[in-house]
Amino acid sequence: MSLSEIQYKLKAPKSQKASGFGGYNYRSCEDIWEALKPLLHKYKFTITVSDSIEVVLDRVYIKATGVLFDENGKEMARATGLAREQKAKNKMDEAQITGGASSYARKYMLGGMFLLDDTKDPDAQFNNGLENTKDEAIVERFKEAKSGTDLVTIWEGLTGREKRLYEDDKDAAKKRLGL
């Protein structure tokens, strides 16, 4: 069993519906875990997740780090995700704000590790006319990727907007690699 098989088989649809602004569909960290756990169990993989706090200027970020291990304890993949704590949020205490940032960081860490598509995230409407402008160096990196781990590394380095822009390149690379 390989990471690429889990990446191929993992389906975590955006079944949650946001109330209020936008009414967009999304997936939660819990949705990803629910879809991922049976595959981890079936293929005898384990994942550890930890959070750390990083302060940049006056802002607090939660950094989620995930490490995937095979049944022999060999590290198969490592990914990180970052989320900034909001300075204040109505009706939430500080612990809830930190917990929400942790969940968000973990969601994006899992999305990066398992190559989850994120094309319809809430900021998709803000493309600033850049939807057709691609960096050929990034396109080449997808074309030259030799493994699922390479794809994870490339994917993790992209912003949300870049992920939407390069999704077809990622999918072509996955197909070429048989993922």
Higher confidence at residue 108 or residue 159?
108
Inside any domain, residue 27: yes
- d(C-alpha 104, C-alpha 107), whole Å: 5
Under a CB-based contact definition with an 8 Å cutoff, are residues 31 and 16 in contact?
Answer: yes
The reply to whether 92 and 133 lie within a common domain is no
The reply to whether 9 and 87 lie within a common domain is yes
Inside any domain, residue 123: no
Last residue of a domain, one of 118, 148, 170: 118
Determine the longest span between alpha carbons in the chain, in angstroms: 48
Inside any domain, residue 76: yes
Asked if residue 131 has pLDDT above 90, the reply is no
Residue 92 tokens read as 């939430």
Confidence at residue 30, expressed as pLDDT on a 0 to 100 scale: 92
- d(C-alpha 65, C-alpha 85), whole Å: 17
How confident is residue 122, by pLDDT bands cut at 50, 70 and 90? very low
The reply to whether 111 and 140 lie within a common domain is no
The reply to whether 5 and 38 lie within a common domain is yes
The reply to whether 134 and 63 lie within a common domain is no
Total domain count, the chain: 2
Last residue of a domain, one of 118, 143, 166: 118
Confidence at residue 124, expressed as pLDDT on a 0 to 100 scale: 43
pLDDT in tens, 47-85: 999 999 998 888 888 999 999 999 999 999 999 999 988
How confident is residue 32, by pLDDT bands cut at 50, 70 and 90? very high
The reply to whether 100 and 162 lie within a common domain is no
- d(C-alpha 130, C-alpha 81), whole Å: 24
What are the DSSP calls for 51-104, one per residue? EEEEEETTEEEEEEEEEEE-TTS-EEEEEEEEEEPPS--TT--HHHHHHHHHHH
The reply to whether 56 and 26 lie within a common domain is yes
Q: What's the first-to-final CA gap in the chain, in angstroms?
A: 12
The reply to whether 18 and 91 lie within a common domain is yes
Range of the domain at 155: 129-179
Last residue of a domain, one of 65, 96, 118: 118
Adjacent-strand bridge partners of 51: 64
Confidence at residue 90, expressed as pLDDT on a 0 to 100 scale: 64
Inside any domain, residue 124: no
The residue-averaged pLDDT of 28-45 equals 93
Asked if residue 127 has pLDDT above 90, the reply is no
